[in-house]
Amino acid sequence: MTTTVFPAMRTTDAAATTALLAALGFTERLTVRDEADPELIVHAEYALGDTGGIMFGSVRNDGSALDSVGGSSLYVVVDTEREVDRLYEEITDMGHAIVKPVATQPHGGREFDFRDHDGNSWGVGSYRGA
């Protein structure tokens, strides 16, 4: 059996979230929109490679712990240091707040950190772990 972890979060701006995920290389697997308001996403799944992914939906103010936007922290692994540098430029151009500029790390790999429009913390790097 293969175990997979899917971080889950909600967003105040579904269009901005889907644009960010596309920029980071995620691909849409499923999007269910609210019938009364198609701008709202009830549930979405975006894949990253063969085993990674994320689930998200629009804020619904339903008392769920997920409605507390801005508390997620995610690390996206990319294949090369060149890809890290390219994404750094793209994420910067999209207007996201850079928390830690792109740099080579003493433990290996190259990475940077930023916050998205909802205040979630993202790291992007080439380090795959020990």
Domains in the chain, CATH or no CATH each: 8-125 (3.10.180.10)
Q: What is the pLDDT of residue 2?
A: 61
Residue 32 has pLDDT above 60, yes or no: yes
Helix/strand/coil (H/E/C) assignment for every residue in the chain: CCCCCCCEEEECCHHHHHHHHHHCCCEEEEEEECCCCCCCEEEEEEEECCCEEEEEEECCCCCCHHHCCCCCEEEEECCCHHHHHHHHHHHHHCCCEEEEEEEECCCCCEEEEEECCCCCEEEEECCCCC
pLDDT one-digit tens code per residue, 60-100: 888 887 778 888 899 999 999 999 999 999 999 999 999 99
pTM of the predicted model as reported, rounded to 2 decimal places: 0.89
